[in-house]
A and B are shown apart, each in its own frame.
Chain A
């Protein structure tokens, strides 16, 4: 072997060794200099020239520091789009709802719909139609500084209808909006003609949702690409809300900056970082150390560990989910109303409250707490004698077997699905029913459920839009091919009541109709309604203005938070 190549190689080895040494040294140096997590001041937001500031206000963006940055951590794995016309996931709605605005909105924590981009609106009965006229707030501007016009509104709604992704049915089916029945009368006026099959109240509720948010037509049109601007809007924003999109690092975080041209009250937090953290132990560590200001959906264990920590406040938020068992009427003995009623009377609901340990409340109706029409009634309390009588009336013999299909993992509220199932199993054993629990992936379970193949299915449901009809139609209307259909339960009379209630304008009459429906479904329907979970947020003690409103879109209004 020539010695030349040997020296070459050995010097190569030496050089490699040197590089390794250098890297190790760098690692050590870095480790020593970093005393604690870097609290380096964040870079200033891209200082765009503030366009057209109204009334000569100097929109000088305040420097972004850790103090005026809000770090919000939690599981944001569901984030797949930030385009308001497409977004239909909890995290996405939270982000898009902070960038874009709708004509009307809910007041966080308050009942009733309030003006947002529309300063006023009018509902007129014009014979076979409702005519809704919205007057836009003349002060409303986009982040670009341009005014929000009726043309932008009509364009945005039409765009969502054309794109026709997950949430589009809210506009198309629920609100029955078409490109033909909406017009921009003038720059400030939008007119919508609604068929009488939809209630103006439901229409307004749908309008609070991100799908009906307004994008700046000129900006989106300039960046349409091949997908109507959908992918462009994942990395840029064109809204009128208090925040603008700075960056979305996939699967890591979304950074929002305060909109320097915001037409409403300037938000206290100049930057919002929505960080994707999936491990509960990490969420606990982040809020303990103060590296996050708000953490969402803590588990029961973490909440208990943080209890009494002076730096952290725990806030419970009501979710709109309901956990229930569907009893398939097509599968005997569940075809007999008495058998289903017997099962409902066999369950010890107090034990479920105990199991939830403060992370949820027993709800025995199909409309969740927080919604109009929720009665708060206790229709059932465990009564084993009554249950056995009912079972005998139905002719169900002792030892009858029932299959209960349940998902794997934890249910909303932190309880394992299997724990709830075991509870139901032991309760039903007391009236002589044998429950076979079958656990499967939620996606597979849904396949079976959708095909009307489950006998008993333990699962949760959340309404598509913040109105009681978001639950009543799926739970009562067989033709809607949703929950009632999945359980083979067809009761046209109750479905008709549901349709009436959906379009009833008078709030008192509507509440009354829902009370009737609730009671009838509780006893005649194919459901065991179990509970409504609570979600736990951890906040640093200096955070104020945090309100979680399950009805509002988004659920948390970042612009109201300060610290």
Chain B
């Protein structure tokens, strides 16, 4: 099976390096962007090949939820799975994340086990959804 491609949107190189180490022996291709501009560069470059975005919510100059909001406004990326990495657990944050169809969230500090499990679960659910979508389209046609 082709490895899934994960795009990490995070402005700390140390945290990116740590995430890469967590994923190194897993069957994923990992790319990285440090800003919204970089994120669009990467997803436009890889197009449909980006299977999951890991989004840090508190980038130094940008708000991760706003980035997801902008992403969702683009039909092409409206269903792209996103996992957010955050320290927030307030109700208003969770409600907004749900509105933006965030797939899951990981609390900081990140542990390897949690990180990999959440990614596996999200990608698996996304694949199931795609299969279901394809079946629906097939039966419609």
The judgment on whether A and B are partners is: no
Binding site for A on B (CB under 8 A): none
